[in-house]
Each structure stands twice: as structure tokens, then as C-alpha cells.
Structure 1
């Protein structure tokens, strides 16, 4: 896309700049838990966000789009206000009417279309154009089970902004927690029974992977017999 043909730059819409700086601060403030790999990922995310801010890229007008799960967005935002994530929650709330919620899959499993959606904020298809990093939000309804999947060539991290969720049944993550998924790591997400969960995510990877990532779920192997 010819960015010079787009009418606005990031600096023309301060609310988007504030949101990016809040993401930058999250990846600066959250501990790495002694993990060298997580610390390196956080540093790379900060470097890429700083690069976006300095580049002052074009902003694309995207049509706001809702999905059934966005009926839970107000509750998710309200639940996040009283946590350490309150700053980024306020920035998201200020832009909520400009978010385009999507599924990202050609075929969504039955029932998941009612309990899941994501909104890209920065990236090849986001309002803030970038081919160096993808930042976005994922919203889950209560009791959502997000099936097992992996990302080819993409290093991914989630930061829990509100609610409580688990990955691969290996721990419970609450606001201020971060999950790190190296490229190709299989992961499945489950959400608490009574409250929605809102996550921020960052994807880092080669240019060709970020611009052509196809999201697919892993199919269960059929039993022989």
C-alpha cells in the first residue's frame, strides 16, 4: 500500500500514539521472571514499538466492526480499571469505537464465533501501518475455550489486561501477567467461567511471516481402528 496516499499520520491522531506508548511501558515494566528469552523478546518489542513511533507511519481509516463477543467488552474494560493495567485500559476505551474486531479464520469452529474476536492495532492490516510488528487485542467471553493452534515463524506474547485465563492448563494468568510463545509452540486457551478476559498481544517475526500469516487450528488426529 502506498502510505503517501493516506491522509493522516500517527502524529495527527494523538490517541493512537498514547496507546502505543502505553504498550511500550507495559513491555518495559513487566518482569521477565529471570528468563533470558522473555527478556530478549520484551526488549525487541520495545525496539519495534519505538521504531513505529519514530517512523510516524500512515494511519488507515478502518471500518469499526463488532462481533457477538464485543457485548462483553464493557465488562472487560470495567474489570481492568482497578488493576495495574488501568492506564492501557483507559487508552483502549478512548479508541473502542474505532476498533475492527475480526475472527481471522476462514472457518470458525462452532460456538467460538460467539466467544472470541481480535482487533489488530498495529500491523499490515491495522489502523497503524507496520510490517515490523503486530500489536492487537483479543477478547474472550466467559468459559471460552480457544482451540489448540500455533504460529509459523512468529514469536508471540500475551499480556492479560482483565479477567483470568489459562494456557495449556499450566497456570492461571491475571491482569499484569505475560505469556510467552516461541514460534511453533502449540497452545490452547481457556477462560474463567464468570468473567470475560481481555488480552493484549505482540507478534514479532520476519517481514514475510507477519504479512502473510494464515491462522489455522490444529486438527485432532483420527483414531485408527
Structure 2
């Protein structure tokens, strides 16, 4: 097999893996979340203890890099899909397990700023006044959008609380969830900068064995067809 044949085979294998993951997301989304709620990963890990040791050491090191290097982490939970009626289950399980550490890093860390949706701007302006809110923002004429300056002016660092928590921007309400990674479009993704997100990524690392088990079953079915 020459180089071109090897590359073609690798591409076919990659396409097949992607196909299996998408198929798993569409067919086993609810079952996958149920398996994780029931702790079936513990049974699978007992059958393959080497998986636990190898994955844990390698992945923990990668996850911890989020302290200094900006990147997103894919989680072993299905992302929301508008075409699937039960695809919110992965998001619900995420929020059940996620425990904010109230460190405020996402609020007072200097950055480019937080884009406010029109609804966000109007909701906050109604509370604090349009003049004050405009003074706390900059207007991006190219995008026709208001951008809240960072560090966030609504974060009380001494009390470690948001002054407008009940009407906070949608981006804040969703944080640390980010859009799925390009290479893992069917899985939830989180900002590795968030220490609570990194902790959850570590706690749910064993759930990947459930994903891999389901992928293997579907792959076997496809290969037998």
C-alpha cells in the first residue's frame, strides 16, 4: 500500500467513525444519558481496568492545561439537537452535575468583552437605566451590537456575586457551555478555563467508555450489513 492508498484508507476510517458517532447521537441519545445516570461505566471499567488507568493519567494532564491555555473540552454528553425531541437530556444532566465554585474567573478576567443580545441589553437597561448601561459598554458598528466591557462591571469581587444574576446575559447563563467542537459535533463542550468545568470533565471521564461501547456496537452492526 503506497502513501495515497494509506491516506485514503485513513480518511474512510475517519468518515466511518464520524458516521457512527452521528448515528449514535440520533439513535441512542436518551439511552446514553440513562446509562450514565445508572452508573454503567463502573461495570464496564471493571471489565477493562487498564482503560481507566491509561485514560485517567493522560486526560487529567490535558484537562489541567485549561488553567493556562484557552481551549474547549468535549464532554461525554450528547449536545442539543433541534431535530431530536429528547436531546435536552444531556444538557439537563450537565447542569445537575455541574457545581459552580463561585471563583468569578469568568466574570473578572480581562478580555475582549461580552456581546449582549438585544434582549439582554433591553432587560438590563430596564433595571439599571440605558445611560448607565451604555457607559459600561462599547458599541461595535460592524456587528451592530453592544459589548459589555471586561472585567465585568456587575461582578462584586468582595462578595463573589453577580449584581444582576437574575437578569444576567444569556451567554453568562449558559457558561461554561460552549458550542460543540468541530471534531466532536455531537457532544457538549465546555470552556477549560472554568475550574468547575475542568473538575466535571475529570469526574465524567469514565463516561467515555459508555460512548465507546455504544460506538463499537453500532460499528459492528454497520460492518455486518
For Structure 1 versus Structure 2, the TM-score category normalised by the shorter chain is under 0.3
Relative to its length, the structure with more helix (as a share) is 2
Relative to its length, the structure with more strand (as a share) is 1
Larger RCO (CA within 8 A; separation ≥ 6): 2
TM-score, normalised on structure 2? Answer: 0.26
